[in-house]
Copies of this chain bind each other. A is one copy, B any other.
């Protein structure tokens, strides 16, 4: 028997109409590519998004077709977010930091029909224009005055002319809430990029969960500045959440350096921001170097990679800015966990509270998590036992666009190895492809690398699994010494004594001149494994 409740679909367009009707006067402030500050409101956003929906229809874009963007965080990008998804097409946010070859591959795989880009990326578009035959229309996200006098792009459309040619009387269609709304490719370290295809339903449920007090805690009185790019998992959902709650939005455009961000934070009264550790380090360097202070910031969300303890302390103790550590992936929309302390943690000493905050956090409601062993058996949530992290929920990917299923027995395998404690706090201890499986037990490569990196003579260290006749795998440490520094194998291994379990001790150390790094700056441990996986077999008598 069904309940007798209205069968209203969860649609992205309803976020916009809500913001228009309740927060029409609330500001959206953008630093433009040109460097100036642009100010608009939710009322105007709604109007222009409806003009833009007409403009898309005029180009013949059908429901389900992909409209790509190559753009910074800004108001025009936000208009595209709502106009494209709201009208039933799919917003495909491209990552401009990728190599042109990879970008062209993704555009072709997605079969994008339109490509809208900030002027910054004109050279990038010119580099791929001849290789993306599905793209029927290119749109420069600028006004007539800033259009390039000549470009290698045929029939280049001027965004402002395109929008202004249409009336703002568009009626958003009542779509099935499972309709695809946006597409974001994730670039793994191996294989081709894979497209994660979000739906209206997943986006709205994610927005509700992410705005909760124990998640990102977003209110109408907040001024939110998403540093995290709108091409990176929809800026962690903040462009949607801001409409849901009526927060003032501040977009930094291309200027993500410390001084530019700080000036914007102070000028616009930003209360909440979100970004990766490297961005925050730049901001802190500027603020602390100049002896400045934050006058309105109350909370910063750190995600993308683990928050260093010194950063947590700098924000919380020196600047009274609360740090929220969060974890997620492109496949998880992205919010999976949030590191808000529980009531019981408040009584702990500072250091113990910090240790909890430095974990990746507990699952937001809607996401289920478990850790499993190699046989798929669920492991204890005791904060010590580690296993492969599996997640499921209505905003977790079930598959990839025009590619494989993403699930194993109904769960998404994150590829992370983690512990979960009795309070539900998850801590990532390794990537599953990097963990060392020794005699049926797991050894965290990251823990060993962190200790090695603490040695004064070590510039870089990778711990990899080497095959072993008795234990299957044993840890092998690959080390680059600092210029001019010296340390012997035995002295280095001695520095591990008392800091790890005896059976975690690397079997050997290999000194190398360099360790290969990938495009995102991460160590390519797979290359090291290829080179050294038989090192212990050969060495064992």
Q: Which residues of A contact B (CB under 8 A)?
A: 1-8, 10, 14-15, 17-18, 21-26, 63-64, 90, 176, 178-181, 196-202, 205, 208-209, 211-214, 217-221, 244-246, 248, 333, 340-344, 346, 362-363, 365, 368, 381, 392-401, 406-407, 410, 412, 422-424
In contact, A2 and B343 (Cβ under 8 angstroms): no
User: A5-B397, A398-B7 are known contacts. Are A209 and B208 too (CB-CB below 8 A)?
Assistant: yes
Q: Given the complex, which residues of B lie within 8 Å of A63, measured CB to CB?
A: 1
User: A245-B213, A343-B248 are known contacts. Are A179 and B3 too (CB-CB below 8 A)?
Assistant: yes
Q: Given the complex, which residues of B lie within 8 Å of A217, measured CB to CB?
A: 213
Q: Given the complex, which residues of B lie within 8 Å of A422, measured CB to CB?
A: 24-25
In contact, A2 and B246 (Cβ under 8 angstroms): no
Q: List 28 A-B contacts (CB under 8 A).
A: A1-B63, A2-B178, A3-B179, A3-B181, A3-B199, A4-B197, A5-B178, A5-B395, A5-B398, A6-B393, A6-B396, A6-B397, A10-B205, A17-B368, A18-B363, A18-B365, A21-B424, A22-B424, A25-B422, A208-B208, A208-B209, A211-B213, A212-B213, A212-B219, A212-B245, A213-B245, A220-B342, A221-B341
In contact, B211 and A23 (Cβ under 8 angstroms): no
Q: Please list the 3 inter-chain residue pairs (A to B) with the smallest Cβ-Cβ separation, ordered nearest first.
A: A3-B199, A22-B424, A1-B64
Smallest beta-carbon distance A21→chain B, Å? 6
Q: Which of A343, A344, A363 has the most C-beta atoms of chain B within 10 angstroms of its own C-beta? A: A343
CA distance A17 to B409 in the complex (A): 19
Residue of B nearest to A381 (CB): B21
User: A25-B344, A208-B209, A343-B248 are known contacts. Are A5 and B381 too (CB-CB below 8 A)?
Assistant: no
Q: Which of A214, A218, A248, A396 has the most C-beta atoms of chain B within 10 angstroms of its own C-beta? A: A214
In contact, A3 and B245 (Cβ under 8 angstroms): no
Q: Given the complex, which residues of B lie within 8 Å of A221, measured CB to CB?
A: 341-343, 346
User: A208-B212, A213-B219, A343-B221 are known contacts. Are A179 and B1 too (CB-CB below 8 A)?
Assistant: yes
Q: Given the complex, which residues of B lie within 8 Å of A181, measured CB to CB?
A: 3
CA distance A344 to B25 in the complex (A): 10
